[in-house]
Each structure stands twice: as structure tokens, then as C-alpha cells.
């Protein structure tokens, strides 16, 4: 019973404490000779989470909702495509549960919650269910009544959420306008508790499925993939993360690290990387705005700007593709991929390439400066709009700053704030495959030259000579020579369709079919480099001698741990390899 004592049904044990009753029962069995043997074994046993007392099952009266009549139309909603579940594999989970539904126990013995609207009469014993609170029994007029002590299960309130938030049961303007809604987003772990029940309640009370799409995200786990829990002390507090790295960094990480319905690991390095991305947006935008501050023309739309260089055509083409892809990906709920594409475009295409190239283009006449500034601003504007759902704070700040600094007439702004500005519509006319192909060759050439410089440690400021055999790309590359000079720190490139013979004492690189030659004499002082190599070779040889004598020392080889000996052998092999490479380098250089 409720007093934790045995009830009258327990016969001779009635009124006894459960532990006492058990002992007495065993003693009685023993007296009757009914015990064959005693043996310890393990059973699953529930304990109170507060005081650790063993919990006993107790039969009691509860309120239930009959579910089959509610479940049937909710099954139909998915079967007849009125409700789409993303990812689709959860259809089966949803349907299995509804097709095997149990009646729902909705009464809870808690202090907080919606109290069950049932009154009991202490006079006539009748029960009354009422929407309004009552003060007297409708059966016998007695005022000796009391309300049911229990409250409703929390999900019994939550399943009304799609319409109770809109003023239901009143027919409000909000209810008429916003019900049903479009997309519901939640964790897959509450598909039964909440999602299926909202569908049932929506159909039952309002006759319409409450949303056409349900998007299920995964659980956020810790960096090792463990479920976060207070007892494991591995809970990442989002407020602390936001204080440390910014809200945009956390939001971008959560949005881009997950795929629908799959759990994700929250890795701090990723949040750091995305904090750096937020900083990149801030710094690059500030640079663009400051370097174009004195140039009029406002923020043109991507439909207005006129590309005049290969780089202009390329960035506008890439942007058009991006806007198109991101829109399709978001419509398809591939939020992670959408975010990754905007990140990649903004960081690499815009910041690392176009903003750098703009420095060259801005050295031209007023018309060139104005055209370049227009494209810089137009692409920044569109990038910020595409990024806004992922990083709302930094993009809003930068976007308003962009318009305040370049467009004094607020009447010309597309909106007073980014959050209500129109979503970009890709300018598909700007897609230019030739420009993308040609520009990617220019990028590859610049990257190859940079790699070569790094390999031989050319001082960063030094301009190096470069000779190219470019075949049918020669005239195209002639027009891009200033970019190569600026971005790869070269002298004016010497472009040939073909070279009768390969330049001697040069490093050679291949970018697609373009041969690139970098004469070493232009990259470094050959005499000094030979001296440096000789020193390095001598040092490596010394190290080899030392390791060889150590390894031929029997005392060492027999007494040291095998893994220590193995380590020394590896070191020796590495040094021998180094000497071989240095000698080859020296031979190339000496010609």
C-alpha cells in the first residue's frame, strides 16, 4: 500500500513492513520444509534516484487516453505524404510505433503541471469532468468536493504546442494565419513523445496535420562520442562555449557538423576553427570596406555589375553557382553541406583570391577601380546573405556596416536589416565555364610557383624569374601576367608557346599542360646555398657515424630495450635518407 506496508491481501503478513514480511515468509516456508536451497543471484532492481531506496511496484488507478482512434489518422498522414520525415528512414520508426500503439497513461503524481480537471464528490461519490472549475457537485449540489490531485504528463501539454501557442481554443488571427506551420525541427529521440503526438493532436483538434515536414537532428555528443550526462561530468555548457568562442562559432559548428538524424561529436577544435572563420569574415570585410571607402557606386546587385577581367567573370560565376547550390541544399535540408560550401567560397575564393586580385585591379584607372569595388561589394553582400542563417550575428553587423559605409541613401537599401533582406537569387547568366577553367589554370600556376619557392626557402619579398611553355594557353596567360607577378612574387613571366630546350639549373613544375621553369639563380644565391648544403651534409654524416657506433656497441644492443634499439635504427635510416636527398639537391644545383 501507499504506506509501504503489506495490504490485507497479504493475509498473515498484513501490516508488516516489506523487509520484515519477507523474512517471516522465508521462515514460514522453512518451517513447512518447502525450501530446497538458498542461492544468491542478480536481478535488475530499481532504486530511487534521490535516496537510493529500493522501488516497489504498486498497482494504482490512473487516467489513460485511448490511442487507436488518434493513431490511425496519424499513420495516414505519413502514408499519404501529408507529412514528410527527414531523414526518411524514420518513417518506419514512426509507423511501427503508431501501428503498435498502447493507451497513454497521462496522470502523474507530481506537484507541477496542468492539474487533471476531475472533481470527486465526498457526499454522493460521483465524479465530474469539467472545463470550468466547479464549486459544487452537479449531481447532489454538495460543496464537499475535491479535485483530482494528479497532474497531466508533460507531453500531454506539449502535444498541443503547435496550436496552443497561437491562442487555441480561441480562433485567433494567429491561429488562422500560422496553423499549420511548415517545418518542425527536433531531436530524433522525441519522435514518439512529441512529434507523433503533435500530429495526432493537430488532426484531432484542428483537423489538419500541424506541419508538412519534420526534420530530425541527431544528439550532440562529447568529443569522444559519449552521450553527455551530468553523472559523467562531460556536459559542454553552450553558454560557456558562446562566451569563449562566440555564438556564431557554436551555431555554425552545430549546423555544419551534423547530418539529419545522425549523432555528432562536439569537437572543440572545430569551434575554434569556426571562431577563426567569424574573425576572417570580420577582418576581410573591414579590409574591403576600408580600401573601397572613397569609391562611389553603392552596393550594386549581382545583376548590375559588369565583369571586365577574367577574375571578375570567375568570382561572379562561382557566386552564382554557390547561391544556386546553397538554396537547393537548404531546401533539401542538407544544412551541413550548404554551410561548408559558403565557408569554402568566402574563405578561399573571395578572401584568398578575389580580394587579393582586387588589389591589382584597384591600381587601374577610375573606371577599373569603380568596377572592382562594385564587384567586391556585390559579392560580399551576397555572401553575407547566404551565411546569415548560419552566423546571424557577425553577418548582420558587417552587412549593416557595408550599407552604412557605401550607400548613404537608406532608401536604396534592400532592407533595413540583413535578417529581413531578400534571400539571394542566383544569377545563372553569370555562370561562365570558360572563365572557371581558365582561372583555375592561373590559380594552379600561382600555387605551383609558391610551392617551389617554399621548397627552396626563397625569402618572402624576393621576386623570382619564371619561364613558361604554355601552348595554346599562352595568349590567355599573357593577359593574366600581372596577377601571377603579384600573387606569386615573380618578375614579369616569360611566356612561350614552346621551348626548344628546357632551361638549365631550374626547378620545373607542371600546371595542367603548362610547363613552369624557375631558374635557381634567380631564387637564391647558388654559392651560399651550396655552402649551406655542404654544412648540412657534413652534419648529417656526423650523426650517421655516431648512430652507427652506438648500434655496433654490443653492450648497448643487448642491454637496451628492443624498442629503444629500434628507435635508434630508425634514426639512422632517416639520416641516411637525408644525406642521399641533400647530395641529389647539391648535384642539381651545381649543374
Q: Binding residues for Zn ion, per CB under 5 A?
A: 48, 50-51, 53, 121, 123-124, 126, 137, 139-140, 142
Between residues 105 and 144, which has the closer beta carbon with respect to Zn ion? Answer: 144
Q: Which three cell numbers stand for residue 488?
A: 606569386
Between residues 140 and 583, which has the closer beta carbon with respect to Zn ion? Answer: 140
Smallest distance from Zn ion to CB 176, Å: 41
Smallest distance from Zn ion to CB 53, Å: 5
Whole-angstrom CA distances from 540 to 188, 466, 574 are 60, 33, 10
Smallest distance from Zn ion to CB 56, Å: 12
Q: Which three cell numbers stand for residue 210?
A: 500541424
Distance between CA atoms of residues 408 and 413, nearest Å: 9
Cell 530446497: give the residue: 36
What strands lie across the sheet with 211-217, from one edge to the other? 84-86, 211-217, 181-187
* Nearest Cα residue to 398 out of 251, 284, 277, 285: 285
Between residues 146 and 437, which has the closer beta carbon with respect to Zn ion? Answer: 146
* Nearest Cα residue to 71 out of 43, 87, 95, 92: 95
Q: Give backbone dihedrals phi and psi of 121, rounded to 5 degrees, phi first.
A: -95, 125
Smallest distance from Zn ion to CB 343, Å: 50
Helix (H, G, I), strand (E, B) or coil at 489: coil
CB 370 within 8 A of CB 361: no
Smallest distance from Zn ion to CB 231, Å: 17
Distance between CA atoms of residues 123 and 146, nearest Å: 11
Between residues 50 and 528, which has the closer beta carbon with respect to Zn ion? Answer: 50
Greatest alpha-carbon span in the chain: 116
CB 130 within 8 A of CB 119: yes
Write the CB contacts of 106 (distance below 8 Å, at least 6 apart in sequence): 62, 63, 64, 65, 152, 153, 156
Distance between CA atoms of residues 152 and 115, nearest Å: 6
Phi/psi-derived region of residue 553, left when phi > 0, alpha when psi is between -120 and 50, beta in every other case: beta
Smallest distance from Zn ion to CB 144, Å: 8
Q: Which three cell numbers stand for residue 133?
A: 472549475
Distance between CA atoms of residues 484 and 491, nearest Å: 9
Between residues 146 and 463, which has the closer beta carbon with respect to Zn ion? Answer: 146
Smallest distance from Zn ion to CB 129, Å: 14
Smallest distance from Zn ion to CB 416, Å: 57
Smallest distance from Zn ion to CB 45, Å: 14
Between residues 92 and 139, which has the closer beta carbon with respect to Zn ion? Answer: 139
Between residues 146 and 581, which has the closer beta carbon with respect to Zn ion? Answer: 146
Smallest distance from Zn ion to CB 1, Å: 17
Cα 317–323–328 angle (5° rounding)?
A: 130
Smallest distance from Zn ion to CB 151, Å: 19
Question: What length does the chain have?
Answer: 591
Between residues 52 and 170, which has the closer beta carbon with respect to Zn ion? Answer: 52
> Can you say how many angstroms the Cα of residue 484 is from the centroid of all Cα atoms in its chain?
36
Between residues 143 and 549, which has the closer beta carbon with respect to Zn ion? Answer: 143
CB 220 within 8 A of CB 264: yes
Distance between CA atoms of residues 193 and 191, nearest Å: 6
Between residues 50 and 131, which has the closer beta carbon with respect to Zn ion? Answer: 50
Phi/psi-derived region of residue 260, left when phi > 0, alpha when psi is between -120 and 50, beta in every other case: beta
State the CB neighbour count (10 A cutoff) for residue 532: 15
Between residues 41 and 112, which has the closer beta carbon with respect to Zn ion? Answer: 112
Helix (H, G, I), strand (E, B) or coil at 490: strand
Q: Which three cell numbers stand for residue 566?
A: 629500434
Distance between CA atoms of residues 78 and 91, nearest Å: 7
Between residues 141 and 434, which has the closer beta carbon with respect to Zn ion? Answer: 141
Smallest distance from Zn ion to CB 119, Å: 9
Smallest distance from Zn ion to CB 47, Å: 8
Smallest distance from Zn ion to CB 138, Å: 8
Between residues 231 and 501, which has the closer beta carbon with respect to Zn ion? Answer: 231
Between residues 55 and 504, which has the closer beta carbon with respect to Zn ion? Answer: 55
**Cis peptide leading into 69, omega within 30 of 0?**
no
Amino acid at each position: 500500500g501507499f504506506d509501504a506496508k503489506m495490504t490485507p491481501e497479504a493475509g498473515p503478513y498484513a501490516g508488516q513492513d516489506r523487509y520484515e514480511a519477507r523474512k517471516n515468509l522465508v521462515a514460514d516456508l522453512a518451517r513447512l520444509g518447502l525450501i530446497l536451497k538458498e542461492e544468491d543471484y542478480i536481478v535488475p532492481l530499481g532504486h530511487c534516484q534521490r535516496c537510493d531506496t529500493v522501488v516497489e511496484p504498486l498497482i494504482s488507478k490512473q487516467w489513460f487516453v485511448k490511442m487507436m482512434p488518434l493513431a490511425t489518422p496519424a499513420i495516414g498522414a505519413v502514408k499519404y505524404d501529408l507529412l514528410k520525415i527527414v531523414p526518411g528512414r524514420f518513417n518506419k520508426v514512426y509507423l511501427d510505433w503508431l501501428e503498435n500503439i498502447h493507451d497513454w497513461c497521462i496522470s502523474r503524481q507530481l506537484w507541477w503541471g496542468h492539474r487533471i480537471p476531475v472533481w470527486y464528490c465526498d457526499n454522493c461519490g460521483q465524479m465530474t469532468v469539467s472545463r470550468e472549475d466547479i464549486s459544487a457537485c452537479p449531481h447532489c449540489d454538495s460543496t464537499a468536493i475535491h479535485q483530482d490531485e494528479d497532474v497531466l504528463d508533460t507531453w500531454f501539454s506539449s502535444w498541443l504546442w503547435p496550436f496552443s501557442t497561437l491562442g487555441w481554443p480561441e480562433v485567433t488571427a494567429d491561429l488562422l494565419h500560422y496553423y499549420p506551420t511548415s517545418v518542425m525541427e527536433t531531436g530524433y529521440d522525441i519522435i514518439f513523445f512529441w512529434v507523433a503526438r503533435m500530429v495526432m493532436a493537430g488532426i484531432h483538434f484542428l483537423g489538419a496535420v500541424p506541419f508538412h515536414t519534420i526534420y530530425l537532428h541527431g544528439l550532440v555528443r562529447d568529443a569522444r562520442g559519449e552521450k553527455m550526462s551530468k553523472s559523467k561530468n562531460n556536459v559542454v555548457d553552450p553558454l560557456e562555449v558562446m562566451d569563449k568562442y562566440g555564438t556564431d562559432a557554436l551555431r555554425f559548428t552545430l549546423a555544419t557538423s551534423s547530418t539529419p538524424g545522425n549523432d555528432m561529436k562536439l569537437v572543440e577544435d572545430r569551434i575554434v576553427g569556426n571562431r577563426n572563420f567569424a574573425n576572417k569574415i570580420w577582418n576581410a570585410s573591414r579590409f574591403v570596406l576600408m580600401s573601397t571607402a572613397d569609391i562611389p557606386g553603392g552596393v550594386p546587385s549581382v545583376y548590375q555589375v559588369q565583369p571586365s577581367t577574367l577574375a571578375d567573370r570567375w568570382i561572379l560565376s562561382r557566386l552564382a553557382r554557390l547561391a544556386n547550390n546553397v538554396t537547393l541544399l537548404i531546401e533539401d535540408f542538407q544544412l551541413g553541406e550548404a554551410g561548408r560550401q559558403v565557408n569554402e567560397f568566402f574563405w578561399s575564393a573571395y578572401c584568398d583570391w578575389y580580394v587579393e586580385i582586387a588589389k591589382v585591379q584597384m591600381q587601374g584607372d577610375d573606371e577599373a577601380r569603380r568596377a572592382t569595388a562594385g564587384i567586391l561589394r556585390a559579392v560580399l553582400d551576397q555572401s553575407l546573405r547566404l551565411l546569415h542563417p548560419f552566423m546571424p550575428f557577425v553577418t548582420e553587423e558587417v552587412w549593416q556596416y557595408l550599407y552604412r559605409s557605401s550607400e548613404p541613401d537608406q532608401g536604396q537599401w534592400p532592407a533595413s536589416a540583413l535578417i529581413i533582406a531578400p534571400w539571394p537569387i542566383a544569377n545563372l547568366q553569370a555562370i561562365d565555364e570558360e572563365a572557371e577553367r581558365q582561372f583555375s589554370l592561373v590559380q594552379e600556376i600561382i600555387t605551383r610557383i609558391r610551392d617551389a619557392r617554399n621548397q627552396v626557402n626563397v625569402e618572402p619579398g624576393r621576386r623570382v624569374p619564371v619561364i613558361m611553355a604554355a601552348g595554346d594557353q599562352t595568349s590567355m596567360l599573357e593577359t593574366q601576367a600581372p596577377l601571377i607577378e603579384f600573387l606569386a612574387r615573380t618578375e614579369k613571366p616569360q611566356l612561350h608557346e614552346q621551348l626548344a630546350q628546357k632551361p638549365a639549373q631550374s626547378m620545373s613544375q607542371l600546371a595542367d599542360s603548362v610547363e613552369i621553369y624557375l631558374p635557381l639563380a634567380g631564387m637564391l644565391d647558388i654559392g651560399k646555398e651550396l655552402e649551406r648544403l655542404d654544412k648540412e651534409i657534413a652534419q648529417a654524416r656526423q650523426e650517421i657515424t655516431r648512430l652507427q657506433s652506438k648500434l655496433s656497441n654490443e653492450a648497448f644492443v643487448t642491454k637496451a630495450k628492443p624498442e629503444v634499439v629500434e628507435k635508434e635504427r630508425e634514426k639512422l635510416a632517416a639520416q641516411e635518407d637525408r644525406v642521399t636527398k641533400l647530395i641529389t639537391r647539391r648535384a642539381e644545383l651545381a649543374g
